[in-house]
């Protein structure tokens, strides 16, 4: 057992997390051979699951052969288990054998797989059919939901009224009237835990139409009152100004005076103008209302005293009320249709018998809340004593609620459990990940069982310069962001950033410390004249130069990875490198890249050609599909694209012949089923001959197979499905492909590369332009009480009753950015190279990452050995660089071997042939019957029957099944009777001995030998092979082989016989 029942490993990047998990698993699994059945190891991705399984099996295989106490793992296992090396080898062999013989009980799985297993066992309790389908594509579900909702508008007056009112309001505000987009944006919340946390409360509230109507009336009444109040205040201010003979420009500031805001009061769209920080409190500072040199100071003072100061003091509170009311109103109309979305979702899940992947955590949370842990185990059919949970920083609140009862049950019995995670790598908050669980909540909730916290602080991945740079940067950057939060967002307690990074410092592994090359960090700050777009273009233009430099230093393409924040950036990098490679065909450097976006199946001209052909067949009146098909076909075939190509007769013989051929086949193509249709189109257009894109065609066909497996295989249905799937389907590339990777930071987690390039090391930290939505309780006036409302994050919330919600989102957004930077930089083993825009540090608001990073890198912060980061910043070139380039060397490993994609397709009609046997009604069989030859039927009877009685029963079966008539049955009975009068034949069906009929003998090469009949007596065995037709030379060697195999298996004397049924002759075969 572990030293403490519950251990939390805080595992920083590159600190050997997989090694640690493997070691702890083996400590538990090696207690006895079947102990592994009581251990559940949970990871978050299929890849991590596979990696951990392979690592465990590899270590068990190694240990069973040899135990080396000099190795840390072996030494730890010997010490923990308190056994000798010989005993450890025996235990490893036993455990490995047990796992391989009961692999299903080898419980290393993703958290989703484990939860789904429990849910399937509770299918009846939660009203699910046992064979439900797990739906992973929630975006497709949402599309179907919105369409169903729109189609049901005419049948529901309440829904119709809400949608019409919403459309009118959108038009009045200059927005698009189509509500689908907004409904989808809010509807996506159906799958988020932030919504599910309040789901039942929201459902209950929305059950009554009057509740929403009441909110809307209250909000609209408040809105009108506030606008009226703003108008009234403006009139009062204007009256005071006029009575004192003043204009607004007479006040301090002239044409840009703060007093102009009085004139803006009462505007219908925003009746209370924003008061800047410097203008707050002017109602208490009359001296700030006029310039010292003004000749109208007495009049201004009088106007202030008469009421302008009081009016000014009311603007800020009223603006807060307006912002609060507008925040509620913003999503109110779409919220009105939320009830219908919830209803349609339940109907859809029931009709299609699906369970959404997002529902799994929700269901399990309810199951574990209402049942004792032993009952859950009983339903699942397995009892776990130990839980090892990986990547715990990405665990959601619902997942923890589901796991906690099981964990507590285990801990209460004294069993060892552990969690592994790193709050600094928590980058999946948008997916429900809750870093506070690892940071503080788990220790607070389970402290009574005794917790041992271990910090894995040795970095085995990166070279020394990178480790020291990370230590220095992430000791300083959290403090910089805390300052921004305090200044820009008025957040007084942002300590969570410092707490998350309090243990950020890592040690360099001894092996890396001795490396002759110490690593490089280089961040170039690029100057641009104007916009962010200019920086984007600058960074793009520098990428080919960087690749040439890196490959010139000896790095192969597969050693290099580009990390990006968005898919758009990844596409731009791929296009830049591909274009550069095409423009420089003679370059000795490779510009090949691999990315999901670059390898989208839909980007293939071949696939686009096939899809256009399919669309044409469904809509022959629409010529655009046909013309699109010919455009892509011309590009693939190498024909020039011109206006003539799209004419009925192009004048190009090959093109015109192909057009005529395709048009002639259109009607016959429509009669084919989907899979045959695709094959036929590819064949007709000759697309299989385009070797460059065969991989895309194969991937497209895989998509079709997947569609056909779960849907009705009709063409319109497939095209609708493809519209949703085309941006998700990519070609799978082997890991060893020698090309540069382009990944988002989120997808790079868990990976490592010799070189990491970040061309765009800058983004908006708290990006409210994406309009993120949060759910929050709010106390409404009157009888409504507390209501759960959807809020769209925007800056106005800072001055509203939702200020704390806004500040919390801002705080977590800054922590998200900090974690993203940490994950990105720690992917690098040897070199980290990035580009960022230069900032004016005196004027910037620090809303983007780059200025915060630049400020930290320019300042004096300790890098170790009395050296600071600022010492490495070249203020002339605007470049930060720690370390040097490695010595140039020739790339190793040789060129990547290209294997051509093989394309082979045959018509299914060519692969089928009808087999004529004596047991059917073919012409051949009829001739056999006419001749009275029933050898094949007799052979079939003999190989199935064990005794004489069974022979008669089988014969009657042939008659009742229609294979023989009465006359033929009697003829067969007569022939069998003659055979049974042979003493040897009769003995075989007397019931004496143990009979094996048509049993296969498995050979070492995997092939089978199948004698017709083997009879085992006490002192011998007999092998019988029945034959029809003429005698053949191979018959005797065949029986001898059977005899040899039976003798080898049983060590009994063996006799062999050949029985010719037509001639009724039995031959004994010698050895």
What ranges do the domains of the chain cover? 6-110+382-456, 464-593+738-765+803-840+850-883, 601-725, 923-1069
**HEC profile for 538-564?**
HHHHHHHHHHHHHHHCCCCHHHEEEEE
Residue 12, annotated as binding a ligand: yes
Q: Which residues of the chain have pLDDT under 70?
A: 1-4, 121-136, 173-178, 355, 357, 360-361, 363-382, 529-533, 598, 644-653, 690-692, 861-867, 890-936
Q: For the domain bounded by 601-725, which CATH number is listed?
A: 1.10.486
Helical spans, DSSP H, in 826-869: 849-858
Shortest CA distance to 403 belongs to which of 423, 376, 436, 424? 376
Q: What angle do CA 725, 727, 728 make, to 5 degrees?
A: 65
DSSP 603: G
pLDDT of residue 648: 59
Residue 167, annotated as binding a ligand: no
Question: In a 3-state reduction of DSSP, which class is residue 1014?
Answer: strand
Helical spans, DSSP H, in 102-152: 111-121, 138-151
C-beta atoms surrounding 133 within 10 Å: 12
pLDDT of residue 374: 59
Residue 11, annotated as binding a ligand: yes
Rg (CA), the chain: 39
pLDDT of residue 529: 65
pLDDT of residue 122: 67
pLDDT of residue 734: 72
pLDDT of residue 932: 43
C-beta atoms surrounding 79 within 10 Å: 11
Residue 514, annotated as binding a ligand: no
For strand 862-864 and strand 879-883, is the pairing parallel, antiparallel, or unpaired? unpaired
Helix axes 373-380, 397-412, angle to 10 degrees: 100
pLDDT of residue 999: 86
Residue 936, annotated as binding a ligand: no
pLDDT of residue 169: 73
The dihedral sign for the CA sequence 202, 204, 205, 209: positive
Establish whether domains 6-110+382-456 and 464-593+738-765+803-840+850-883 are of one fold: yes
pLDDT of residue 691: 57
Q: Which CATH superfamily is domain 6-110+382-456 in?
A: P-loop containing nucleotide triphosphate hydrolases (3.40.50.300)
CATH class of 464-593+738-765+803-840+850-883: alpha beta
CB 304 within 8 A of CB 262: no
pLDDT digits (tens, 9 = 90+) for 937-961: 777 778 778 788 888 888 888 888 7
CATH fold of 923-1069: Lambda Exonuclease; Chain A (3.90.320)
Q: What is the DSSP string of 670-734?
A: HTS-HHHHHHHHHHHTTGGG-GGGHHHHHHHHHHHHHHHHHS---HHHHHHHHHHHTTT-B----
Nearest 10 degrees: Cα torsion 712, 716, 719, 724: -70
Residue 642, annotated as binding a ligand: no
pLDDT of residue 28: 94
Task: Give the integer Cα–Cα distance in Å for 114 and 844.
Answer: 49
CB 665 within 8 A of CB 657: no
Nearest 10 degrees: Cα torsion 383, 389, 395, 396: 20
b/e code 849-875 from CB counts within 10 Å (16+ = b): bbbbbbbbbbeebebeeeebbeebbee
CB 854 within 8 A of CB 462: no
Nearest 10 degrees: Cα torsion 67, 68, 73, 77: 50
Task: Give the integer Cα–Cα distance in Å for 200 and 889.
Answer: 64
Q: Is the pTM of this model over 0.85?
A: no
pLDDT of residue 297: 92
pLDDT of residue 924: 52
Tokens encoding 1006:
């995997």
Tokens encoding 202:
């929201």
pLDDT of residue 370: 59
pLDDT of residue 540: 94
Residue 948, annotated as binding a ligand: no
Query: What does each C-alpha distance from 665 to 619, 670, 677 come to in angstroms?
Result: 16, 9, 11
For strand 1001-1002 and strand 1008-1009, is the pairing parallel, antiparallel, or unpaired? antiparallel
Q: What is the DSSP string of 861-892?
A: -EEETTEEGGGGEETTTTEEEEE-PPPP----
Task: Give the integer Cα–Cα distance in Å for 959 and 719.
Answer: 51
Residue 997, annotated as binding a ligand: no
């Amino acid at each position: 057992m572990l030293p403490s029942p519950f251990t939390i490993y805080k595992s920083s990047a590159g600190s050997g997390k997989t090694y640690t998990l493997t070691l702890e698993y083996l400590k538990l699994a090696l207690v006895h051979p079947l102990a592994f059945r009581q251990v559940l190891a949970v990871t978050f991705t299929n890849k991590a699951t596979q990696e951990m399984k392979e690592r465990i099996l590899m270590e068990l295989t190694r240990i069973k052969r040899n135990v080396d106490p000099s190795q840390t793992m072996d030494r730890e296992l010997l010490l923990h288990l308190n056994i000798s090396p010989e005993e450890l080898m025996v235990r490893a062999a036993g455990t490995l054998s047990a796992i391989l013989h009961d692999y299903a009980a080898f419980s290393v799985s993703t958290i989703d797989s484990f939860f789904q297993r429990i849910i399937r066992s509770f299918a009846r309790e939660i009203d699910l059919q046992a064979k439900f389908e797990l739906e992973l594509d929630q975006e497709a579900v949402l599309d179907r939901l919105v369409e169903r909702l729109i189609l049901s508008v005419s049948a529901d007056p309440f829904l119709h009224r809400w949608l019409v009112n919403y459309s009118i309001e959108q038009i009045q505000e200059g927005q698009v009237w189509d509500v689908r987009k907004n409904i989808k944006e809010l509807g996506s919340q159906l799958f988020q835990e932030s919504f599910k946390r309040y789901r039942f409360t929201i459902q209950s509230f929305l059950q009554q139409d009057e509740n929403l109507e009441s909110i809307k009336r209250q909000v609209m009444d408040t809105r009108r009152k506030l606008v009226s109040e703003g108008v009234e205040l403006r009139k009062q201010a204007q009256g005071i100004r006029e009575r004192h003979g003043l204009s607004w420009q007479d006040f301090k500031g002239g044409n840009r005076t703060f007093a102009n805001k009085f004139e803006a009061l009462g505007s219908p769209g925003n009746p209370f103008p924003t008061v800047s920080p410097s203008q707050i409190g002017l109602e208490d500072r009359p001296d700030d209302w006029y310039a010292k040199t003004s000749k109208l100071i007495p009049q201004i003072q009088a106007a202030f005293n008469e009421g302008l100061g009081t009016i000014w003091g009311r603007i800020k509170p009223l603006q807060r009320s307006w912002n609060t009311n507008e925040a509620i109103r913003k999503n109110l109309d779409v919220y009105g249709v939320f009830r219908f979305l919830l209803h349609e979702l339940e109907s859809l899940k029931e009709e299609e018998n699906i369970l959404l992947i997002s529902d799994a955590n929700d269901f399990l949370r309810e199951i574990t809340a209402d049942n004792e842990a032993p009952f859950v185990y009983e339903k699942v059919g397995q009892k776990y004593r130990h839980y090892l949970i990986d990547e715990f920083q990405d665990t959601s609140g619902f997942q923890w609620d589901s796991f906690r009862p099981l964990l507590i049950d285990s801990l209460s019995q004294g069993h060892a459990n552990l969690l592994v995670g790193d709050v600094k790598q928590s980058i999946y908050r948008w997916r429900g990940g809750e870093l506070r669980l690892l940071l503080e909540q788990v220790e607070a909730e389970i402290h009574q069982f005794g917790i041992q916290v271990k910090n894995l602080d040795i970095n085995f991945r990166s070279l020394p310069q990178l480790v020291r740079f990370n230590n220095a940067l992430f000791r300083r950057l959290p403090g910089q962001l805390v300052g921004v939060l305090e200044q820009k967002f008025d957040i007084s307690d942002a300590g969570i950033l410092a707490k998350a990074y309090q243990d950020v410092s890592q040690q360099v592994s001894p092996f890396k410390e001795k490396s002759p090359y110490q690593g490089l960090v280089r961040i170039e700050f690029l100057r641009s004249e104007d916009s962010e777009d200019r920086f984007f273009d600058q960074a793009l233009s520098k990428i080919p130069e960087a690749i040439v430099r890196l490959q010139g230093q000896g790095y192969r393409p597969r050693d290099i990875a580009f990390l990006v924040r968005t898919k758009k950036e990844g596409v731009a990098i791929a296009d830049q490198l591909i274009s550069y490679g095409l423009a420089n065909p003679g370059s000795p450097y490779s510009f090949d890249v691999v990315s999901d976006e670059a390898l989208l199946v839909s980007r293939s001209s071949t696939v686009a050609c096939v899809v256009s052909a399919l669309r044409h067949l469904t809509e022959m009146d629409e010529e655009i599909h046909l013309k699109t098909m010919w455009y892509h076909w011309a590009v693939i075939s190498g024909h020039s694209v011109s206006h003539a190509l799209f004419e009925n007769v192009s004048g190009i013989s090959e093109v015109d012949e192909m057009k005529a051929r395709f048009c002639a086949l259109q009607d016959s193509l429509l009669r084919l089923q989907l899979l045959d249709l695709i094959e036929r189109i590819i064949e007709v257009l000759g697309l299989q001959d385009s070797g460059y894109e065969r991989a895309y065609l194969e991937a497209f066909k895989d998509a079709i197979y997947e569609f056909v497996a779960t849907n009705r295989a009709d063409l319109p249905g497939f095209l609708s499905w493809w519209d949703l799937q085309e941006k998700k389907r990519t070609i799978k590339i082997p890991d060893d492909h020698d090309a540069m990777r382009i990944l988002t930071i989120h997808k790079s987690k868990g990976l490592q590369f010799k070189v990491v390039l970040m061309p765009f090391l800058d983004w908006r930290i708290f990006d409210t332009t994406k309009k993120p939505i949060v759910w929050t309780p709010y106390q409404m006036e009157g009888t409504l009480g507390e209501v759960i409302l959807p809020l769209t994050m925007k800056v106005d919330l800072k001055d509203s009753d939702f200020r704390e919600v806004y500040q919390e989102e801002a705080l977590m957004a800054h922590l998200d950015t900090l974690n993203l930077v940490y994950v990105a930089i720690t992917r690098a083993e040897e070199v980290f190279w990035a580009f960022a825009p230069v900032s004016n540090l005196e004027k910037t608001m620090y809303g983007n990452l780059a200025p915060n990073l630049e400020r930290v890198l320019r300042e004096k912060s300790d890098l170790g050995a009395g050296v600071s980061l600022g010492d490495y910043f070249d203020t002339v070139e605007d470049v930060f660089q720690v370390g040097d380039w490695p010595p140039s060397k020739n790339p190793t490993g040789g060129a990547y071997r290209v294997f051509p994609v093989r394309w082979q397709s045959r018509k299914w009609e060519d692969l089928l042939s009808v087999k004529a046997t004596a047991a059917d009604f073919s012409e051949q069989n009829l001739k056999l019957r006419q001749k009275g030859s029933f050898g094949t039927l007799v052979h079939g009877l003999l190989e199935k029957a064990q005794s004489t009685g069974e022979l008669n029963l089988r014969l009657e079966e042939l008659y009742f099944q229609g294979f023989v008539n009465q006359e033929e049955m009697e003829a067969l009975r007569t022939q069998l009777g003659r055979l049974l009068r042979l003493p040897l034949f009769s003995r075989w069906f007397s019931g004496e001995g143990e009979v094996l009929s048509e049993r296969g003998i498995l050979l070492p090469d995997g092939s089978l030998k199948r004698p017709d009949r083997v009879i085992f007596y006490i002192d011998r065995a007999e092998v019988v092979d029945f034959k029809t037709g003429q005698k053949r030379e191979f018959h005797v060697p065949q029986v001898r082989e059977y005899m040899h195999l039976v003798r080898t298996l049983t060590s009994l004397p063996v006799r062999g016989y050949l029985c010719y049924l037509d001639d009724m002759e039995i031959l004994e075969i010698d050895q």
